[in-house]
Chain A
Amino acid sequence: MRLLILALLFPLLGHAEPATVIRATELKSAPATDASTVAQLAENAAVEALERQGGWTRVKAAEGEGWVKLLALRYGGPGSAKKGDTGIAQIFNVARTGSSGTQVTTGVRGLDEEKLANAQPNPAELEKLNHFAVQPAAAAGFAAKGKLSAHEVEYPK
């Protein structure tokens, strides 16, 4: 059981996640198009995705380690276990709410279709929402602290 939980938690910890390349792709030595090519990966080649940097993801392939274009990767490679309803969300829910396993199987607390269909207005929460709002000047200061600078970018045609 513990092994199973560890296996399910694995992807969340930011470690390797099974993935496939959706087209023939060059495995690069660095996250840049002009970096040297480590190997040629065939379409549907299985890799382990490790970390992202901009539009690039560092992967471990049979041919070695390197970087591929993020958009050429799809997670959940062939043979990788899909995380079903006994998966991550449920385990985290148990951990967070401290509820027993039997309670979890009767339904996850939170937001689903039924809740949306039967929702009644909650003015107290709306009041809180208003209280959390931030003015543009404060947001600009926050952006500057993160070294974010605004610039003009046109919408694509």
Chain B
Amino acid sequence: MNRLVWLIALLIAAPAQAQFKLPDLNINKLIDTAKGVVKATREIDENEEIAIGSDVAARLLGAAPLMNDLRVQRYVNNVGRWLATQSERPDLPWHFGVMDAPQLNAFAVPGGTIFITRGLLEKMHSEAELAGVLSHEIVHVVRKHHLKAIQKGALAHLSAGAAGAALSNVNSEARNKLVAFGTEMYSRGLDKGDEFEADRLGVVIAARGGYDTYGLPAVLQSLQGMNAKDSAVALMFKTHPAPGERLDTLAAKMQPVLDSYSSQPQLRERFAMETKAAR
């Protein structure tokens, strides 16, 4: 932060210097750049977050469309919205979607959009397992994991002025780049620490929603039994810590919460009935 303050100070001080030593320097551009830096490093407000998220969601849907089944989509929205209501950001415009793809994956998009693939849904056995995965993704949104990564990327990959424009100007070329970068981030993955945090706090969200807390560990266990080289899980395994490591971490840190709420409903029958179209 200090370095940034210096940079801004330097840029603002530039005009005085320019008069004598740098006559061909574009002073207005320098000042704009300084403003851009300030804009790109400040906290992104909620409306901007929602707008960026909506652009990224549209791109992700360009990669894989939604399953064409109202029943399963409404079902996942019901489970998701109920869980989101238990989070620290209940009033976001939460949207949940089942993508029609055989690969196993789930994505959290800034502003409250969450996708899960048909492939992952068909690997599950109960609503508690679905709730475990959705809770993990809800934590990514609540803690703004992707938003912060996108912002960091914007500063690293765009000029300061362009980064500022990308965040506030919806129709700029810089915005396009930012959204493309934000979409590709789902190929690179977050920091491991963000994933472990989403696992830990996700278990708490599921517990708050009244679900059997072992839903997420059960899904991780199913994944752990799969071959990492299977193309159905290749991308997810590349972007997340190994499922066995995630299980070990949950066992080490979350045993008390897991065990206190493990007798809450699993809802196996409702899950089987409502997700028939996906299997």
A interface residues with partner B (beta carbon < 8 Å): 11-12, 14, 17, 19, 52, 54-55, 70-71, 73-76, 82-85, 87-90, 92-93, 96, 108-113, 115-123, 125-126, 128-130, 132-136, 138-140, 142-143, 146-156
| Chain B residue nearest to A96 in the complex (CB) | B102
- Which residues of chain B (78-95) have a CB below 8 Å from chain A? 78-79, 81-82, 85-86, 90, 93-95
* CB-CB under 8 A for A121 and B221, given A108-B102, A111-B105, A132-B73: no
Is there contact, CB below 8 Å, between A75 and B183?
no
Is there contact, CB below 8 Å, between A132 and B95?
yes
* CB-CB under 8 A for A89 and B209, given A116-B186, A146-B265: no
B interface residues with partner A (beta carbon < 8 Å): 54-55, 57-66, 70, 73-74, 77-79, 81-82, 85-86, 90, 93-97, 99-105, 113, 117, 119, 122-123, 125, 127, 179, 183-184, 186-187, 200-201, 204, 207-214, 217-218, 221-222, 224-227, 229-232, 234-235, 244, 247, 250-251, 253-259, 261-265, 267, 270
Contact with B232, one of A75, A88, A129, A149 (Cβ below 8 angstroms): A88
Residues of chain B with a CB closer than 8 A to A132's CB: 66, 70, 73-74, 77, 95-97
* CB-CB under 8 A for A128 and B257, given A149-B210, A150-B208, A151-B210: no
Is there contact, CB below 8 Å, between B127 and A129?
no
User: What's the nearest-Cβ distance from chain A to residue B214, in Å?
Assistant: 5
User: What's the nearest-Cβ distance from chain B to residue A81, in Å?
Assistant: 10
Is there contact, CB below 8 Å, between B230 and A83?
yes
Residues of chain B with a CB closer than 8 A to A108's CB: 102-103, 231-232
Is there contact, CB below 8 Å, between A155 and B201?
yes
| Chain A residue nearest to B112 in the complex (CB) | A133
Is there contact, CB below 8 Å, between B102 and A116?
no
14 chain-A/chain-B pairs, Cβ below 8 angstroms? A19-B225, A71-B255, A76-B224, A89-B104, A93-B102, A111-B64, A111-B235, A117-B187, A125-B61, A132-B95, A132-B97, A139-B85, A140-B85, A156-B253
Residues of chain A with a CB closer than 8 A to B101's CB: 109-111
Q: How far is the CA of A137 from the CA of B221 in the complex (A)?
A: 33
Contact with B62, one of A52, A122, A129, A151 (Cβ below 8 angstroms): A122
* CB-CB under 8 A for A135 and B81, given A89-B232, A115-B64: yes
Residues of chain A with a CB closer than 8 A to B74's CB: 132, 134
Is there contact, CB below 8 Å, between B204 and A111?
no
Is there contact, CB below 8 Å, between A74 and B244?
yes
User: What's the nearest-Cβ distance from chain B to residue A52, in Å?
Assistant: 6
User: What's the nearest-Cβ distance from chain B to residue A21, in Å?
Assistant: 13
Is there contact, CB below 8 Å, between A70 and B221?
yes
Q: How far is the CA of A152 from the CA of B209 in the complex (A)?
A: 9
* CB-CB under 8 A for A143 and B209, given A87-B227, A134-B81: yes
Q: How far is the CA of A143 from the CA of B210 in the complex (A)?
A: 9
Residues of chain A with a CB closer than 8 A to B230's CB: 83-85, 87-89
Is there contact, CB below 8 Å, between B235 and A153?
no
Q: How far is the CA of A119 from the CA of B218 in the complex (A)?
A: 32
| Chain A residue nearest to B271 in the complex (CB) | A146
Closest 5 CB pairs of A and B: A75-B225, A89-B232, A110-B101, A54-B262, A148-B210
Residues of chain A with a CB closer than 8 A to B256's CB: 156
User: What's the nearest-Cβ distance from chain B to residue A33, in Å?
Assistant: 9
Is there contact, CB below 8 Å, between B231 and A89?
yes
Apart from A108-B102, A108-B231, what 7 extra A-B contacts exist at CB < 8 Å? A54-B263, A112-B103, A129-B95, A129-B97, A139-B81, A140-B85, A151-B207
Q: How far is the CA of A110 from the CA of B257 in the complex (A)?
A: 36
Is there contact, CB below 8 Å, between A123 and B261?
no
| Chain B residue nearest to A133 in the complex (CB) | B95
User: Which interface residue of A113, A117, A154 has the most chain B CB atoms within 10 A?
Assistant: A113
Q: How far is the CA of A153 from the CA of B202 in the complex (A)?
A: 11
User: What's the nearest-Cβ distance from chain A to residue B203, in Å?
Assistant: 9
